[in-house]
Amino acid sequence: MDDTTVSPLLPSIETGSDQDIRLSGTWITQHVPTLEKCIGQWLSRKTAPGNLIVDFSAVQRMDTAGALLFLRMEKHLLEQGFSLERNGVSPAAASILKAVEPHAQISPGLSPRLPLWERILNRAAAIALEFLSSLRDLTAFTGLITQTLIMALLNPRRLRFNAILTQVQKTGASALPIVGLISFLIGIVLAFQGAGQLRNFGAEIFTVNLVAIGVLREMGILLTAIVVAGRSGSAFTAEIGTMKVSEEIDAMQTIGLNPIEVLALPRIIGLLIALPLLTFYADMMGLLGGAMISFATLGITPLQFIETLHGAAGLNDFFVGIIKAPVFAFIIAMVGCHEGFKVSRSAESVGQQTTRAVVESIFIVIVLDALLSILFSALGI
């Protein structure tokens, strides 16, 4: 009968007694959500294992989707210790069940739905285990990188200086426009917002202090590291991951080359050189933006800004930001290379690991920046 003219009965599962269950309705693709719900509800209230007689006489129609769901339920019950007997199966349903049976698998969706608190705990445990596993792998990779770097420094001929200079150009010189623009705008925002608040107390001149401390100690290095993580860290993962997919890394190993030494070290050393230079450039652009808005809104001339700057911030404020740069550079490059080597042989994996590299590196950089800020404050630096 045509389903467009006659509405099919919704599928259901009824328990006649402890020894039998009765299936009814249409077990078809359109009713898969209803079927899954019915099966889940019935499994959640089933009795202790025993003999079950399954009555198919009221099943009006069954297609491959309905047959697959039933077979999954049946297999699940068999593994739980039940024994099943089918009664009233029509020839058409029997044919479909026989065709689908080799493909039946246990589906997690057929298990009784856990309470909310159990699902939350299970999810939290899975996230914690995944985090610990990633931390273990990252720690092991850090040790491998450190060992390879020390060996290369002891034998400088193993360093590929052309590759290092190429990475300095890619991660440093090519990033100057975006880093400079962002730092300049942040300097403008800090000065503009700070001046608006300090004007209420007649202390507009301290806008210079706000811009100097904010840019030199925190904003310059932090924003630069985030931009580099999104720009260069992702590039490291994508480049190495693509090489792994195309089996270039396997070819390197076949001819006796060390992929860590050839691919990872130039990127790490290049970024270790480039990020401190980018941080210095970002600091200067941030101060320039602050000086411009101070002149435009407060009438503080560039000469007055520079003179006030000498008293507002010292060399220790400048070096606090610069000292963070090599640490952040090592973290970003290491995470980017690590995720690149973890790529499986598929294009989808390249995208997944690239996204993961950016998220991980930015997260670690922000957490580390907070810890270093607390440490420097406790030391009075």
pLDDT tens digits, one per residue of 210-249 = 898 989 988 899 999 999 999 999 999 999 999 988 888 8
Mean pLDDT of 266-282: 94
Kindly state the greatest CA–CA separation across the chain: 96
Evaluate if residue 7 carries a pLDDT over 60: no
Residue-wise pLDDT for 81-93, tens only, equals 788 888 888 888 8
Mean pLDDT of 253-278: 91
Residue-wise pLDDT for 279-318, tens only, equals 999 999 999 999 998 888 888 888 888 888 888 788 888 8
Higher local confidence (pLDDT), 6 or 187: 187
> What's residue 42's pLDDT?
77
Residue-wise pLDDT for 74-122, tens only, equals 888 887 778 888 888 888 888 888 888 877 654 444 455 567 787 788 8
Q: pTM, whole model, 2 decimals?
A: 0.68
CATH 3.30.750.24 intervals, the chain = 12-110
> What's residue 297's pLDDT?
84
Mean pLDDT of 143-157: 88
The share of the chain scoring above pLDDT 90, in percent, equals: 30
CATH 3.30.360.10 assigned to domain 12-110? The reply is: no
